[in-house]
């Protein structure tokens, strides 16, 4: 039987995963019997057998809503194109409210993955990335709560384990014009006056040019157990319908975020999370 929900949700998942692969600098393939999670489970689309839904939230804010027409300053908004310029307090996090129009009343979660992506502060490129966030559920009526620290394997920025974690460090020169597209430099201060304080000397084709260094990473962690607990707590609270057990607020906190000039000044801030439910 044709399911509009299934088709719509499939494309939500597909588009989100595609976004995460790009923003996290990920090169892993996706498709039937291609992606395998850290537990060896093969991840693939199965037509007609399951439904999918994605909860997602950004951890970025648009506080400086000053409009500009041209020669815009960092954080200013061109018409119809608002720019992120600040971060949500990681201790507070962001919340998605799952309502009964999002999922069928008989929905029972068989698998779930928490995915988060963020950028790294320039002075932390050589340190281990932050690998832990907190996932908290508060039921629609407030009589069911569950919280857990979700921790991925430890990694440095420039590492990948195939599915659970992938990170990327980028170094590239910035174009300054058509006649002489790249500006050579010896020290970072050579770049500050002509380009901006966010620019640094970066190696490129045997020379050093004024450019940019950025880094971002993505974690994808199996949180199926978290949802199994929600179902159990819901039944204990007298909620007999599986889908109703899932309704409420899902908060993710602890995702680091940066609005340093290395990202803000080129409208390149990154940060957000999603939960893919099967």
pLDDT in tens, the chain (278 residues): 223 233 333 333 433 443 443 343 333 444 444 566 766 776 665 555 678 899 999 999 999 888 888 777 777 888 788 889 999 999 999 999 999 999 999 999 999 999 999 999 989 999 999 999 999 999 999 999 999 999 999 999 999 998 899 999 999 998 876 666 889 999 999 998 888 888 999 999 899 999 999 999 999 999 999 999 999 999 999 999 999 999 999 999 999 999 998 899 888 899 999 999 99
Beta bridge partners of residue 112, listed in sequence order:
277
Q: Judge whether 143 and 152 are in contact, CB under 8 Å.
A: no
Output the CA–CA distances (angstroms, integers) from residue 180 to 134, 183, 194, in the order listed. 48, 7, 13
Where do we find the tokens 């597209």?
A: 181
How far are the Cα atoms of 121, 207, 265 from residue 204, in angstroms, in the given order?
Answer: 22, 5, 22
250 forms beta bridges with 96, 137
Predicted TM-score (pTM) of this structure: 0.82
Dist CA 204 CA 101 (whole Å): 52
Give the DSSP letter of residue 124. Answer: G
């Amino acid at each position: 039987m044709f399911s509009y929900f299934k088709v719509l949700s499939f494309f939500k998942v597909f588009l989100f995963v595609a976004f995460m692969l790009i923003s996290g600098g990920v090169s892993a393939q996706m498709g039937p019997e291609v992606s395998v999670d850290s537990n060896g489970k093969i991840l693939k689309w199965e037509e007609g057998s399951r439904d999918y839904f994605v909860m997602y939230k950004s951890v970025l804010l648009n506080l400086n809503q000053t409009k500009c027409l041209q020669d815009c300053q960092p954080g200013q908004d061109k018409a119809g194109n608002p720019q992120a310029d600040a971060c949500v307090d990681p201790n507070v996090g962001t919340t998605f409210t799952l309502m009964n129009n999002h999922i069928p009343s008989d929905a029972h979660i068989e698998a779930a993955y928490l995915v988060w992506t963020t950028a790294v502060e320039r002075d932390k490129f050589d340190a281990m990335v932050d690998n832990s966030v907190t996932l908290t559920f508060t039921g629609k009526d407030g009589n069911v709560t569950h919280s857990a620290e979700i921790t991925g394997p430890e990694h440095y920025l420039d590492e990948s384990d195939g599915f659970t974690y992938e990170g990327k460090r980028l170094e590239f020169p910035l174009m300054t014009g058509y006649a002489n597209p790249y500006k050579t430099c010896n020290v970072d201060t050579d770049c500050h006056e002509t380009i901006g304080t966010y620019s640094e000397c970066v190696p490129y084709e045997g020379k050093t040019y004024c450019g940019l260094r950025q880094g971002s990473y993505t974690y994808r962690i199996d949180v199926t157990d978290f949802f199994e607990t929600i179902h159990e707590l819901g039944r204990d609270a007298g909620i007999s319908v599986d889908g109703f057990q899932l309704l409420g607020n899902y908060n993710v906190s602890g995702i680091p975020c940066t609005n340093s000039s290395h990202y803000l000044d080129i409208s390149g801030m990154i940060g957000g999370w999603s939960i893919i439910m099967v």
